[in-house]
Amino acid sequence: MAEATRSRFSVDLDNIEQQLNQSGQQAASQKDPLAELARIVGQDDPFRALLDAGQTRKPEPARQPAPQPVYEPAPVSAPRVESAPSASDYQDRWEPEWEIEPNDWAASATPLSAGGRMRGYLGSAEDRDWFSITPDKTGLVMGTVNAPAGVDIVVFRDEDGKKVVNKRGAGDDEQFALDGEAGKPLFIGIARKLDGKKDPKEQALQGLDDPYELILNVTDK
Ligand SMILES: [Ca+2]
Ligand SMILES: [Ca+2]
């Protein structure tokens, strides 16, 4: 019996060994496809992750345009810097002053600081706006009037309104120069050119609600 059990045991051991080998071979043979599957699955994941990332990133460009209007005011204010003749006048030009009506005569002119900006309305056909500036140094006073659209600006360079500047047409800027003397006030009048053949009250007026802007800069010349 002992030999039989040994032989059986040995046979069993052989069978078990064979089974183990077979199962090991099967397992080994199964490992390869599993490994390939694992690779495929492993490769799919990063692609899916990229796809998912791409899908999640797509909405971002749609969100980005929203903040853009916040940055738009910057270019809007840029032309103000361009119109500044000098850096010393930079601060004044960011806060333009406004005309003080009635200012239809030189005696009631709205005072303007040197190197400043002044805005006003030609609110009627015969509205005339006078401004005064007293330079603190002797030199040329350079002036520019930015006209509202459709308005032909006329500039008076002297207190009596006899020296008229009107080089350009409707909607265009007018530029002029005055001889400034330290401590002596200068007077500048602004009006709109009307059709002399028509009654001012019957003329179609443009830019009644659009302000013009007078820019003055005292130079050393
Ligand atoms: Ca006015
Ligand atoms: Ca006026």
Q: Is residue 59 domain-shared with residue 90, that is, in the same domain?
A: no
Distance 99 CA to ligand 2 centre (A): 8
Q: Is residue 93 domain-shared with residue 202, that is, in the same domain?
A: yes
Ligand that comes closest to the CA of residue 148: 1
Helix or strand or coil: residue 37?
Answer: helix
Q: Is residue 123 domain-shared with residue 15, that is, in the same domain?
A: no
Domain count of the chain?
Answer: 2
Q: Is residue 23 domain-shared with residue 113, that is, in the same domain?
A: no
Distance 160 CA to ligand 1 centre (A): 18
Q: Is residue 92 domain-shared with residue 184, that is, in the same domain?
A: yes
Per the domain annotation, does 76 fall within a domain? Answer: no
Q: Is residue 8 domain-shared with residue 100, that is, in the same domain?
A: no
Buried/exposed 74-101: b ≥16 CB within 10 Å, e otherwise: eeeeeeeeeebbeeebeebbeebbebee
Q: Is residue 23 domain-shared with residue 101, that is, in the same domain?
A: no
Distance 191 CA to ligand 1 centre (A): 8
In the DSSP assignment, the letter for residue 148 is P
**Which tokens go with 168?**
């350009």
Q: Is residue 135 domain-shared with residue 211, that is, in the same domain?
A: yes
Per the domain annotation, does 38 fall within a domain? Answer: yes
Per the domain annotation, does 72 fall within a domain? Answer: no
119's CB contacts (< 8 A; 6+ apart) are: 96, 97, 98, 99, 211, 212, 213, 214
Distance 153 CA to ligand 1 centre (A): 12
Q: What is the CATH number of the domain that holds 142?
A: 2.60.120.380
Per the domain annotation, does 21 fall within a domain? Answer: yes
CA dist 5 and 43 (Å) reads: 53
Per the domain annotation, does 78 fall within a domain? Answer: no
Is residue 142 predicted with pLDDT exceeding 70?
yes
Phi, psi of 155 (to 5 degrees): -115, 135
CB 193 within 8 A of CB 169: no
Q: Is residue 208 domain-shared with residue 126, that is, in the same domain?
A: yes
CB-based burial label for 172 (10 Å; 0-12, 13-18, 19+): middle
Model confidence at 128, in pLDDT bands (50, 70, 90)?
very high
- Per-residue pLDDT reduced to its tens digit, 53-64: 555 554 555 555
User: What are all long-range contacts of 17-20, with beta carbons under 8 Å and residues at least 24 apart?
Assistant: none
Distance 56 CA to ligand 1 centre (A): 57
- Per-residue pLDDT reduced to its tens digit, 149-195: 999 999 999 999 999 999 999 999 999 999 999 999 999 999 999 98
Distance 28 CA to ligand 1 centre (A): 98
CA atoms within 13 A on the CB side of 31: 6
- Per-residue pLDDT reduced to its tens digit, 90-108: 544 457 799 999 999 999 9
Distance 86 CA to ligand 1 centre (A): 27
Strands, DSSP E only, in 31-146? 97-98, 110-111, 117-120, 129-133, 139-146
Per the domain annotation, does 71 fall within a domain? Answer: no
Query: Which domain, by its residues, includes 24?
Result: 2-63
pLDDT score at 216:
94
Distance 63 CA to ligand 1 centre (A): 46
Ligand that comes closest to the CA of residue 104: 2
